Amino acid sequence: MRYAIYFTPERDDPLTRVAANWLGRDPFTGTAAPAPAIGRLSPAEIAFHTAAARRYGFHATLKAPFRLAGTETEASLIKAMEVFAEGMAPVVIPQLAIRQIDSFFALVPEAPLPELNRFADDVVVAFERFRAPLSETEIERRSPDSLSPLEFRNLYQWGYPYVFEAFRFHMTVTGRVNDGEAPRIRGAIEEFFGAVLDEPVAVDGVALFVEPEPGAPFHVQSYHPLGRRRERKTA
């Protein structure tokens, strides 16, 4: 079993609902949805291009999937997430944009947000004690020879290459797409997500995702809104 700490909007948020329909699965409920047909893209094509992202569910990685340290339990992790979330302030992304990162499509902030990066840094550090060390197999799965020196150091120290200076907030919506297919896929994403991409997105919660066994779909185990301690202090 592996755990991950992700951002995803709340279960009934319009962005969550659209993304679940696009990916074909809702990680909150496990409910599958048939792939849509969009323009000239058939449901089979969309299902193919979203397969890799579907297993993980709609999310932005904050603490990448990890096995639980032997000194910790799921209950202790959830409790720590509750405490952490209560003391953190939400961050608002004014607008999302569609970008290709290493040939897969993702939704990213239209402009840099240093406060969002700081929040992600805090998550990485705060929950490091819950992460079991990577096995050699897990390290090899990350293709360490292809990483930069910074990414390689992050992998060994933090269990994931893309943290701190290497972090980039993104919410993946496809697998890898070749250059020939990219314009069609981008057009389909723009059409399907539509006006929801023009709305601000509040990063106002953290979710504990669980992979019950290797290769199984990730699902939301618990969801923790940010800032409740601050709300109580100002009430």
Instruction: Provide the pairing of β-strand 91-93 with 96-101.
Output: unpaired
Cβ pair 57, 209 in contact under 8 A: yes
The size of the chain, in residues, is 235
Tens-digit pLDDT profile for residues 84-139:
999 999 999 999 999 999 899 999 999 999 999 999 999 999 999 999 999 999 99
Question: Which residue type, as a one-letter code, is found at position 159?
Answer: G
Confidence of residue 232 (pLDDT cuts 50, 70, 90): very low
Structure confidence at residue 228 (pLDDT):
66
The pLDDT score that the predictor gives to residue 235 is: 39
Q: Where is pLDDT greater, at 124 or 235?
A: 124
Other Cβ atoms within 10 Å of 182 Cβ, number: 14
Inform me whether the pLDDT recorded for 229 exceeds 60: no
Cβ atoms of 122 and 206 within 8 Å: the answer is no
pLDDT of residue 234: 38
Distance of CA 21 to the CA centre of its chain: 16
Q: Measured between alpha carbons, how far is 163 from 159 in angstroms, rounded to an integer?
A: 9
Q: What's the pLDDT tens digit per position in 148-190?
A: 999 999 999 999 999 999 999 999 999 999 999 999 999 999 9
The pLDDT of residue 39 is above 90: no
For the residues of 18-72, what is the DSSP string, one character each? HHHHHHTB-TTT--B-PPP-BTTB-HHHHHHHHHHHHHH-S-EEEEEEEPBPTT-
Confidence of residue 233 (pLDDT cuts 50, 70, 90): very low
Task: Say which residues have a Cβ less than 8 Å from residue 115's Cβ, sequence separation at least 6.
Answer: 91
Report d(CA 20, CA 22) in Å as an integer. Answer: 5
Amino acid 139: pLDDT? 92
Residue with tokens 């550090």: 125
Mean pLDDT for all residues in the chain: 93
What domains can be seen in the chain, in order of their start residue? 2-234 (3.90.1140.10)
